[in-house]
Amino acid sequence: MEIYTFDQITLLITHYNRSASLERLLQSVENLHLKFREVIVSDDGSKTEHLHYLNRLKGKYGFKLICSDKNRGLANNINKGQQAVSTPYTLYIQEDFVPSGSFREHLKNGLELMEEDPLIDLVRFYAHYRHPYLKPLRNGFSEMRFQFWSPGSKQFWCYSDNPHLRRSNFLEKFGFYREGIGSDKAELQKAISFLQKKGKAIIHDDFRTIFLHENDSEEPSQVSRKKFRKFLQVTDLFLIKTARKAYRNIKFRIQYLFF
């Protein structure tokens, strides 16, 4: 398999207590023969056994490890990791994602679009649903459009912390991730900031297959949510689902106008 070398990209991986998942991601990148200028693993104060394993992985895969003296949250972990990047572009992936074989070509094509259009801030490779307002580009990519007066709250998520390629001046342009709050709130505030500052994002049509999200029983998600709140977020009961949509429509618009 041909080696794809991206000297202008740093692979940034955030990690917390899931060293086996991290190894799976690093090995999958190696199996795809992807080479980056640098690989940075930003750890968020993992337990001792995971830190020991991280140092073993560091010797095998040759990444730069940035540690924290305690768990400070995903926002801090992204901030400190991004500040260590010196290349023009950052490929950001959380440790529990795995790229498929098609990712090589999609990354190459996404980078070409960014280099051609300096207004593109973000290339997304994963999403939970199809964005409602898309403008087709080429090679399967589409621009994610934000239309404030059009219906629906899903359009507010042009930004997401799921796997994406971004310009490394992202924090300077859109602000640092707000620390000291839950990861869901920090992600939403970043999504609102991205729209307020006229960020431009594109996404590939195959966003469900380019990356797999692997959360197994041995290393489950480290994000804790109250059971009732989680139920409200995912239930398909008609009344709750309708109320949830209406609430988000109002909430996101208020935050966009006044946050």
- Neighbouring residues of 148: CB distance < 8 A, sequence distance ≥ 6: 253, 256
**Mapped to the 3 state alphabet, what secondary structure does 125-159 carry?**
CCCCCCCCCEEECCCCEEEECCCCCCCCCHHHCCC
Compare 218 and 147 and report the one with higher pLDDT.
Answer: 147
* 235's tokens: 């239930």
C-alpha–C-alpha distance, residues 62 and 60, integer Å:
6
For the chain, give every domain's residue range.
4-224, 225-259
Considering only CA atoms, which of 17, 20, 13, 11 is closest in space to residue 70? 17
Stretch 84-111: mean pLDDT: 97
Residue 18 has pLDDT above 80, yes or no: yes
Average pLDDT, the chain: 91
CATH class of 4-224: alpha beta
Residue 49 has pLDDT above 50, yes or no: yes
- The pLDDT value given to residue 230: 46
Q: What are phi and psi of 23, to 5 degrees?
A: -60, -40
* 181's tokens: 């709050």
Stretch 172-183: mean pLDDT: 95
Stretch 76-105: mean pLDDT: 97
